[in-house]
Structure 1
Amino acid sequence: MISKEELKREVLRWANKIGVEPKEVQIRKMTKKWASCSSKGRLTFSTDLLFKPEEFRNEVIVHELLHLKYPTHNKMFKVLLKVYLEK
Structure 2
Amino acid sequence: MITQKEFKRDVMMWAERLGVEPEGIHLRKMKSKWGKCSSKKLVFDISVLEEPYDVRLRVILHELLHLRYPNHGKMFSALLNLYFQEGIKEYE
Please say whether Structure 1 and Structure 2 have the same fold, judged by a TM-score greater than 0.5.
yes
Q: TM-score range by the shorter chain?
A: over 0.9
Normalised by the length of structure 2, the TM-score is 0.91
Q: By how many angstroms is 1:72 displaced?
A: 0.3
Matched, 1:82 2:81: yes
Residue 6 of structure 1 is matched in structure 2 by 6
Deviations 1:31-71 (A, max 9, x none): 11100000x10000010001000111000000000000000
Residue 30 of structure 2 is matched in structure 1 by 30
Residue 60 of structure 1 is matched in structure 2 by 59
Structure 1 residues not aligned, in runs of 5+:
none
Structure 2 residues not aligned, in runs of 5+:
87-92
Match of 1:59, SS state, is helix
Counterpart-to-counterpart distance in 2, 1:86 and 1:74: 19
Q: Percentage identity across aligned positions?
A: 48
Residue 69 of structure 1 is matched in structure 2 by 68
Residue 90 of structure 2 is matched in structure 1 by none
Count of residues paired in the alignment? 86
Match of 1:50, SS state, is helix
